Structure 1
């Protein structure tokens, strides 16, 4: 697994306003050298910054939990700094260190699956059905507990769901995934109901008006990723200008730290 710094998107560059208390920074990274049968999870991330004046900032360890697949070419490290620190360093290059704690999985037991009409039995899950309602996905009733690791992969251009008004068809090989990870340790929990509900969806992450979803007849690939190992890597950039990577102020729904994948 390899990471490298990508150029800043100058079209998204924004100017800090006096009302802002915190500034969101987003660092784009290219990703490569993920084995074809592997998945790399960004289990924990820490960003450290050092200004020419000697002023330092550290995010502490955060856990984005983002999954990177072999066909994905980039990701983004996002973090939030106080505006007072940003104002001190925005005109100068800073030294940045990004520490990544990675978890590697092997994507095993891949098999093709065409979503049936009506109710069907999904091995290792339970009785399921696919609907063409507003939430177009697979809805299952799993006895006692849900699967420990189940990955659904879909080519959105092959969906059989009818397009809604304003939706366009996805381009060829526009891949979407849903990875359900449960707990496989200990006995099944017996509560008031011995049946667990499991809903599985796939959707286009970067095109809100793209026709997507799982309906009867939609082809899918099921697999069961298995843990392989933990690893860690460090990235250092000596002349990073935070002003090039800041995002516009968001009025709602911010978490301050996270990952995005493209």
Structure 2
């Protein structure tokens, strides 16, 4: 009762925040893939995204948008959250349509909400999660037994001390300045603009594009700061 945030919930139950599950709600606009490929969560009209990360983690919106192929994400309103059966502040996928083990990916029709789970949830057993009833939470909630997702992937933000996905070492946060950037655009714009070339096999293919830039003004400022000019 009265525990509306992860911090309050963890303090009330005297458990670490890593033993809790955090629900985050978005409405996503997912356009059709320009190559005609099937999006992970389909495409078309705006979709309700029920994202879940562990309580000691924060959700990375860019990771989520890239994972589901969303052109735009916006926070869901309280009315939109209630419309799928969830209760703001006390929400979990348990008991919601499309959240039971019987409605797993690839079986039946897509539910009215799309559940996306961070991969850390799948190996974090017995979490505390909302009961979809004001003032109540559930203990010992487990992914796979109590609910399923249409997509399990890395959607959590990397914080200081998080394990490097490459070597497993703890990552260190440091301040920096972006003096240059590289954007791998792929064929996103060449497909849209019908920019193609003919290869040596006389096959028409989209140009693979990239954007490469150096901020001259920032670079000069960094040089001055580094040398204490």
Bucket of the pairwise TM-score, normalised by the shorter protein = under 0.3
User: Counting helix residues as a fraction of each chain, which structure ranks higher?
Assistant: 2
TM-score, structure 1 normalization: 0.21
Question: Highest relative contact order (Cα 8 Å, sep 6+), 1 or 2?
Answer: 1
